[in-house]
Chain A
Amino acid sequence: MEIKRETVRSSAPTGQGQGGVEIDSSGLRVNKHDAKELLRGAELLGPTAPASMDGEELERYVHERVLTTTLEKAVSWGRSNSFFPLAFGLACCAMEQFQTAGPRMDIARFGFEAFRASPRQADLIILAGRVSIKMAPIIRRLYDQMLEPKWAISMGACCSSMGVFNNYALVPADKFMPIDVHVPGCPPRPEGLMHGILKLRKMVQDDPDAGWRERYDARGTEEILPGA
């Protein structure tokens, strides 16, 4: 079979683009400058409005290229897509937690793969396993060392409801620290933990007020206040 070779022409259209804007490198630069001017409100100033595009054309150019949002939404979007979990396991659930970071579930798809060895660098603590009475103050200390904003997932039956070990030895995580998401299971499969993390992601994105600060009426008790 004969292979046909064809010279591929430059993909940049020479005529009118989709937005009715000429796209060549020099024109692009001019348009970018004009868009900046428009965003600064230059159009309102009248005579200083950009000359190379007229109002409607420029308006469309800007609308096609600029996304407006609120700062809160942008920040929670960033936070929710880059949790830094604490590299920390308590019992058998930790095996499933590791597997969540493994290639099959691949937590890195969502940007949560950077497990941090220090609580100062982490913003998500996953309690993977049972919490004994003697371990509870240590975990609380780890949680207190994490910087705001921070979230906690209680993974598995033991640290949510103590599961089969509901006796003298264990203490449920809710007793000593605020938990945002409980993942049931004994242990939960990696899919389960993934679901829990995505629930938390959804919560951080859509409804940050559903976190523990609202539930515990703890607004204003942040360690570092904004602007302080």
Chain B
Amino acid sequence: MPDATGLELLAKELRESEGIGAEAILGTLYFRGHATLEVQPQHIRAVLALLRERGYASMMSVHGVDYYPHEPRLGVHYELLDMSKVDRVTVTVRVPTEAPELDSVTPDGEDGKGWPTADHQEREIYDMFGVAFHGHPDMRRILMPEDYEGHPQRRDFPVGGEPVIFTHNEHESSGVTR
């Protein structure tokens, strides 16, 4: 991990670098030894490309988060790892539920190489949280059936479940005629 000072230095370095403005880095968070950079959604690809140049060349995972009731509600976390220094940093973006859209980091583009490992994880975030990733090569649901409605890991999604059929209420089950 970069320590708290290292995180601030990293943020400063990114703000001063070419290609993204100073406003692209919204803030830093150092909590329980874990360094987090919060980034504006439209700059996520550029920031990740800059971090890759600084050694954070391995994307360990991509998560979705629902921060309900805080706004903007949905978050996407990218966990980066520097394999030589064994150093981790988390990059987060927040998107509102009204327009849950984000650039995909999976494909290669004009602004740099992509992160192929993000492919299935972005699909999973789309499936579970409904964040649509622009430019993703195969933006489909991955876990739920294709015709499923809703995004079940959102916190306002009902817990639901099926009524359990026991012997005493078996006749209420569908398909039983007596």
A residues lining the B interface (CB < 8 Å) = 132-134, 160-162, 166-172, 174-175, 215-217
Contacts and interface: CB of A to CB of B under 8 A. Distances in A.
B174 A162 contact: no
A111 to B, nearest CB: 29
23 contacts: A132-B143, A133-B144, A133-B145, A133-B148, A134-B143, A134-B144, A162-B162, A166-B161, A166-B162, A166-B164, A167-B159, A167-B160, A168-B144, A168-B159, A168-B161, A169-B144, A169-B152, A170-B162, A172-B164, A172-B165, A175-B162, A175-B174, A215-B178
Contacts of A169: 143-144, 152
B176 interface: yes
A166 B145 CA distance: 17
Interface residues of B, number: 20
Interface of B: 143-145, 148, 152, 157, 159-162, 164-166, 170, 173-178
Contacts of B161: 162, 166-168
Contacts, number: 48
Nearest to A136: B145
Given A133-B145, A167-B159, A161 B164 contact: yes
Given A166-B161, A215-B176, 11 more contacts: A133-B144, A161-B165, A161-B166, A166-B162, A166-B164, A168-B152, A168-B157, A172-B162, A172-B164, A172-B165, A174-B165
B163 to A, nearest CB: 9
Given A134-B145, A162-B161, A166-B162, A217 B177 contact: yes
A168 B178 CA distance: 29
A133 B144 CA distance: 7
Most buried by A among B152, B159, B175: B175
Given A133-B148, A134-B145, A167-B159, A216 B164 contact: no
A157 to B, nearest CB: 10
Contacts of B176: 215-216
Contacts of A174: 165, 173
A171 B159 CA distance: 13
